[in-house]
Amino acid sequence: MYGVDSVGLDGEVKKFEKPIFQTWLMFLAMAFALPIHWACNYHLVRKQWQCNKHGNVPCITMLSTKTDRYRISRETYFLLALPAAFDLTATFVANLGLLYITVSVFQLMKCTVIVFVALLKVFVLKESLHGYKWVGIGLNMLAIVMVGATSLADADNQSNNSTSQHPGVGTLMIIMSGAIRAIQYVIEERLMGEGHRAPPLVVVGMEGVWGLILTSCIVYPVAYAIPGSDKGSSERFDDACVMVLNSRLAQTVVIVNEVVTLAFNICTVSVTYLLSSIWRAILDNFRPVAVWGFDLLLFYILSQGQFGERWTNWSWLELAGMLTLFVGTAVYNGTLRLHGFVYSKSAIEELIPINQPDALISPTIPSQE
């Protein structure tokens, strides 16, 4: 999106460098998870009505239990504003960082969240980690250093935007966003755990709603009041809207971004809840491969060098960092076993589904354990 050119309120052609607007679009996409959740619940209620009509007692009992467990307290809806606030901050900081580094480095550096989540679990939640998990964390930190070094050493060849000559700033911002994102994940885990038991789709949808409210009512007014290069402000919402309206390419990117963001968040909570957090970590670390591969394809084939990312000599170090990240994640998850360490359960047991598909609607439905 940052590489798209369009005409703003001042009538001049410029890059679409609007990190707050990008954050606003993300929350808008997430909010659409609520209608999906309501549609699923409507289907459940309709099935219950049909069971009542035909006098199917076992069916009535099962569906009544599910619909009762679906109900969420008003307090939970308001508590979901807390992870939304951290999500807003983390996304905004990450989008700022993306102005200074390439997309592939951005995706790889976002994996710092694994390290920060582990540290929060140990030092804040007072949970213990096995020795092999610390080895995995160490390998992930090594991968982060390798990728960060690539960004710093290859600044001259980064072509995603005009501010890419300061990759150190972008790298620092991505690390900061990872720390903030880790806090968000821990809060979400608590809200979907015992006590509140918020359905995953409600978590995604309400974070979107609260994020829209916070961005529209607090972040944008503050950005408008702060002096900057966007017609006298740090960032203006009306200028972003005009730029989208004036560019067919920008409109296409926005639509694709909304669909992909919604699908990604739904798939993420589905994988987390239906399988396990291990699968989420494994699949999440394959995302940089797809993004980087598409970025190279975009640069060399699809856009003839206008968009995307070129391959340089330093890309080999970035590739080595990516492979180190995969190994570190495999060690942390216990799928790659090391001699001399104690493992509580087998990797196969860790990957067994822990919930039924109906858990997307009501997470209190009994698991398959």
Q: d(Cα 347, Cα 349) in Å, to the nearest integer? A: 5
Per DSSP, the three-state class of 135 is helix
Sorting pLDDT into bands at 50, 70 and 90, what band is 62? very low
Alpha-carbon Rg for the chain, nearest whole angstrom, is 22
H-state helical runs in the chain: 19-31, 33-54, 57-70, 74-79, 81-98, 103-109, 112-123, 131-153, 167-191, 200-214, 220-225, 237-245, 248-274, 277-284, 287-297, 315-333, 347-350
Task: With a cut of 50, say whether residue 323 has pLDDT above it.
Answer: yes
What's residue 276's pLDDT?
46
Q: Report the distance separating Cα 277 and Cα 269, nearest Å.
A: 9
Q: Give yes or no for residue 284 having a pLDDT over 70.
A: no
pLDDT at residue 168 tops 90: no
pLDDT at 270: 67
- Domain map of the chain by residue range? 16-338
pLDDT in tens, 341-357: 888 655 444 444 444 44
Global confidence as pTM: 0.75
Which pLDDT value is given to residue 155?
A: 62
Lowest mean pLDDT among 59-68, 110-119, 229-238: 59-68
pLDDT number for residue 368: 36
Residue 192 clears pLDDT 80, i.e. is over it:
no
- 73-121 pLDDT, tens per residue? 788 889 989 989 998 999 889 988 888 888 888 888 887 888 888 888 8
